Amino acid sequence: MPVKKTDGDWSSVTPAMNDRDNPARILYANKDNPYTYWRLFGNAFIDVQPIKNLHIKSDFGLDYGNYYQRVLTHSYTGRLGVDQPVSSKMQQSHWTKWAWTNTATYNLSIKKNRMDFLVGMEMDKQLDVSFAAEKQTYDEEDPDYMFPSVGTGEAFATGSATGYTLLSFFGKINYVYDDRYLASVTFRRDGSSRFGKDNRYANFPAFSAGWRISHENFMDAVSDIVSDLKLRVAWGQTGNQEIDNLANRTILVSNYVGDAGAGVNTGTAYDIEGKDGGLLPSGYQLQQRANDDLKWETTTQTNVGLDFGFLNQSLYGTFEYYFKQTDDILIRPPYLGAIGEGGDQWVNGASMQNQGLELSLGYRGKTASGFSFDISGNISGYRNKITKLPESVISAYGGNGTTDIILGRAINTFYGYRADGLFRSQEEVDMYADQPGKSVGRIRYEDNGDGVINEDDRVWLGNPHPDFEFGLNINLEWYGFDLTIFFQGMYGNLVYNNTKATTDFWAVSESKMNHGTRLLDAFDPETNPTSDIPSISFTNENSEGRVSSYYIEPGSYMKLRMVQLGYSLPLSIIKKADIKKVRFYVSGQNLLTIKSKKFTGLDPENPNLSYPLSTSLTFGVNLSF
C-alpha cells in the first residue's frame, strides 16, 4: 500500500486487502495528541529524642501524579469514502498515594553488647481517579478549535475511582555482640484492603543470625590471608498482595456504553421499546465474583550464606543457598465457559518451591604503575517446582486438567504437541497416524500411539527456567582513563518464540500481511528437500499455530550490556578553574548478543518482540563543581 495517493491524500486499503488502517496516517494523526504528566513526591518528618538514644519519628510521604491528554480523531476518507466522526476527547487522571510511618527506635550499648529496638506502624493509602469527556463533530478541524465545549455532535463522559489501603505494625530487635555474633528478630503484621474481611491481616515473622568468623581470636594467625569471613543464616516470611484493588469483591457494574469498537458488544443497555435510539434502560454486568476467603500469598524463605574476603579484600565474594516456599499463590484462574459472565474470581492457588545457589567472586587490585582493576562475576541457579495444586485451579497452570497436571513440574512449563519434523514424502504421510491436515511439507505431530492426533497427544514440552544465570563486571582505571565492561546472560532456558507464526508460515498468522524471510527457505520436495521450515501453504489446514515444540527454542544468551570508556582531566589542570572533576566518556549499550543458533528470532530475552533491543551509543561530559 502506498503511503499517499497522487493527490496527496492518505491512501487506504483496497477491497482485496486486509482491513487495516494506513499506519503512517495513524502515526501522523497522533502528533496532535501530546500528553503531560506531572509527578510530585516528597516527605516530611519529625524526629524527637525524649531520652538519649530513643528516637520517635513520624514520617509522612506523599506521591502525586497527574496525567492530562487531549485525543483528537481526524476525519479521514478511507474505504468506500466514508468518514469517521471527528472527535475530541479530554482526559485526566490523578494518582494520590501517601504513607505515614511512625516508629520508635532505641539503641543500647553495654560493653560489647549492642542492641537496636524498633517498633512502628505504617499506613498506606492510594486513590486513583480518572475522567474523560468526549464530543464529536466540529465546525473546523483545527486542533486549536477542537475542544469538547464547541463540539456539536454526540457527547460521551467517563469517570472512575479506585483505591486500596495497607496497614502494618512491625517490630525489630537487632543484637550484636562484639561484632562477632549478630542476630535479629523481626515481626510484622500486615493488613491489606484487598483481602476478604477475615483474612486481611497476616503475620510475617523473620529472624537472622550471623557469625563473623574472621573476628575470632583463633583467626588472628591467618588474618593476612583471610580478611573477612562471615557465616549467616536467615529465615523469614513475606507476603504478597499485588492483585486488583477489588480482588475480593463482587464486581457488578452498569455498562451502558459497551464497546462495539472491537467488533463485540458487551453493554447492558437495550432498546426494549423499539424506538431505535435515544436514552435506553440499562442493566448490570457481573464482572467478578467475590471471595471472602482470599488471603495473603506467603513466601517462606531460608537462606544460608557465607561472605568472604581474602588478601586484604582483594579477592572477595559470597556464596549463598536459599530455599523458598511460596504458598497460596494469588491467581484468577480461567473457568468453565458454562459459568458465563462473571466467572472470574481471585483465589489462592498452587504452592511452589524454589531452591537456589548463588556465587559471586571478585578480584581487585592496583599495580605499581597506577593501573587499578576490579573484576567480579556471579553465577546463580535455581530449581522451581509446583508442590501443591488445589482441585479448583488444577487446569489453571497448563496441562489437560485430568491426567496431565503441573504438580511436580516447574511453573510455566510448556504444554502442547511435540513437532516431530516434517512429512517429507507422500509415503510418510500415508504411513502416519490420522492427523487432520497432514500432507507433504507439513509438521508431523508426535502420536501417543493411538493412531489419531488429537488433544490427547499433548505433552509437557520444556522448562522456561534457566539452568543458571551469570554476570561479569570489569572495571579498569589507568591514570585518567577508566573502562567499564558488563556482560550478562543466562543458559539453559527455553522460550516460546511466537514470531515464528509470521516468519515460518504464510497462513498461521494473518495472511496478506508482512512475513519473515525464513519463509523463502521453506521446504519443497524437489527444490529444497532438506529444509526444516514447513512448505508454504495458502491455508493452515494442519493447524500449525497450535502450541507445539516447533515454537520452542533455546533462550540462552550472553549480552554485552555496556562498555564505557572515560577520561578525566588531571586535577592539576582543572583546579585552577575551580572545578572538581571533568570527565569525558563514550558509552555503548547492548553492543553484542550471543545466542543459540537454534533461536530463530531477534532477541531471546524478549522472544516475542518484533523489534530488536536497540543498540545505543552515548557521548558525554561529567562536570563536578
Partner 1 sequence: MKNIFILFVVLSFVPLASCSKFLDQKAYGVLTEDDLTTVEQIENSVISAYAGIGNDEINRPLSLWGYGNVRADDAYKGGADENDNDLLHWLEICSPSVGNVGMWYNDVFWYRNYIVISRINSALRALDNVSEGQMPLKTTRIAEMRFLRGHIHFIQKIIFKHIPFITEDMSPDDISNESNVALSSDSVWLKIAEDFEFAYNNLPVVQPEIGRANKYAAAAYLAKTYLYKAYRQDDMHNVTSIDMGELQKVIDLADEVIASPYRLENDFAFNFLPGQYENGPEALFSVQYSMDDGTTYGRLNMGCALTTPTPGGDFNKPSQDLVNAFKTVGGLPDFDNYSTADLSETDKVDPRLFHTVAIPGKPYKYTDVNFEANQTRNHTMYGLYSSLKENVDPASPFYVKTGPWYANSKNWIVLRYADVLLMKAEALIETGRHNEALPLINQIRSRAQFSTQFIAFAAGNLAITTYQDGTNCNWTEDFARKALRWERRLEMAMEGCRFFDLVRWGIADQVMNMYYANEKDAHTYYRNAYFEKNKFEYCAIPVEQINWSKGLYKQNFGY
Per CB under 8 A, contacts with partner 1 among 254-313 are: 254, 256-286, 289-290
Beta strands in 417-467 (DSSP E): 419-422, 443-445, 459-462
Q: How far apart are CA 121 and CA 240, in angstroms?
A: 18
Long-range CB pairs of 445-452, under 8 A, 24+ apart, other chains included: 445/417, 445/418, 445/419, 445/420, 445/548, 446/417, 446/418, 446/419, 446/420
- Using rule CB under 8 A, residue 154 touches partner 1: yes
Q: What is the DSSP secondary-structure string of 197-229?
A: GGGSEEEEEEEEEEEEGGGSGGGGGGTTTEEEE
The SS3 assignment for 255 reads coil
Q: What number of chain residues touch partner 1 (CB under 8 A)?
A: 114
CB of 365 to partner 1, least distance (A): 51
Rounded CA-CA distance 545/498 in Å is 9
Chain CA centroid to CA 142, Å: 40
Distance CA 234, CA 304 (A): 7
Q: Which is nearer to partner 1, 157 or 594 (CB)?
A: 157
Select from 17-25, 209-217, 478-486, 592-600 the region that touches partner 1 (CB under 8 A): 17-25
CB of 193 to partner 1, least distance (A): 4
Tell me if 247 contacts partner 1 by CB under 8 A: no
In terms of Cα–Cα distance, which of 603, 580, 579 is closest to 590? Answer: 603
Contact string 52-71 vs partner 1 (x = CB under 8 A): ----x-x-------------
CB nearer partner 1, residue 321 or residue 335: 335
Of residues 390, 401, 451, 570, which one binds partner 1 by CB under 8 A? 401
Q: Which one, 27 or 80, has the nearer CB to partner 1?
A: 80
**E strand map for 273-423:** 285-288, 297-310, 315-327, 330-331, 347-348, 351-366, 371-388, 414-416, 419-422
| Least gap, CB of 83 to partner 1 (angstroms) | 8
Under the binding rule (CB under 8 A), the answer on residue 2 touching partner 1 is: no
Does the CA dihedral 193-196-198-202 come out positive or negative? negative
Length, in residues, of the chain: 625
Can you tell me which of 2, 15, 370, 449 binds partner 1, judged by CB under 8 A?
15
CB of 192 to partner 1, least distance (A): 7
Per-position x/- string for 534-553, each x denoting binding to partner 1 as judged by CB under 8 A, each - no binding = ----xxxxxx-xxx------
Give, as ranges, the residues between 593 and 622 that touch partner 1 (CB under 8 A). Answer: none
123 vs 613, which CB is nearer to partner 1? 123
Enumerate residues 316-375 that contact partner 1 by CB under 8 A.
334-343, 345
Tell the smallest beta-carbon distance from residue 223 to partner 1 (Å). 47
- Return the number of the residue (308 or 415) whose C-beta is nearest partner 1: 415
Q: Residue 510 interacts with partner 1 (CB under 8 A)?
A: yes
Q: Is 48 in the site for partner 1 (CB under 8 A)?
A: yes
Could you tell me the three cell numbers for 128?
A: 486513583
d(CA 92, CA 33): 13
Q: How far apart are CA 534 and CA 442, in angstroms?
A: 5
**441: alpha, beta or left, given left = phi > 0 and alpha = psi -120 to 50?**
left
Binders of partner 1 among 101-120, rule CB under 8 A? 102
Could you give the CA distance from residue 160 to residue 155 in angstroms, rounded to a whole number? 17
- Radius of gyration over every alpha carbon of the chain, rounded to an integer in angstroms: 32
> What is d(CA 411, CA 418) in angstroms, rounded to the nearest whole number?
19
Member of 23, 436, 451, 620 binding partner 1 (CB under 8 A): 436
| Nearer Cβ to partner 1 (25/200) | 200
Sole window of 15-23, 365-373, 469-477, 521-529 interacting with partner 1 (rule: CB under 8 A): 15-23
Considering only residues 114-153, where is the footprint of partner 1 by CB under 8 A?
121, 123, 125
Out of 511, 531, 587, 596, the residue judged to bind partner 1 by CB under 8 A: 511
Of 451-470, binders to partner 1 (CB under 8 A) are 454-455, 458
Site for partner 1 in 84-103 (CB under 8 A): 84-85, 100, 102
Nearer to partner 1, 49 or 610 (CB): 49
Grid coordinates of 457: 497427544
Contact track, partner 1, 190-229, x by CB under 8 A? -xxx------x-----------------------------
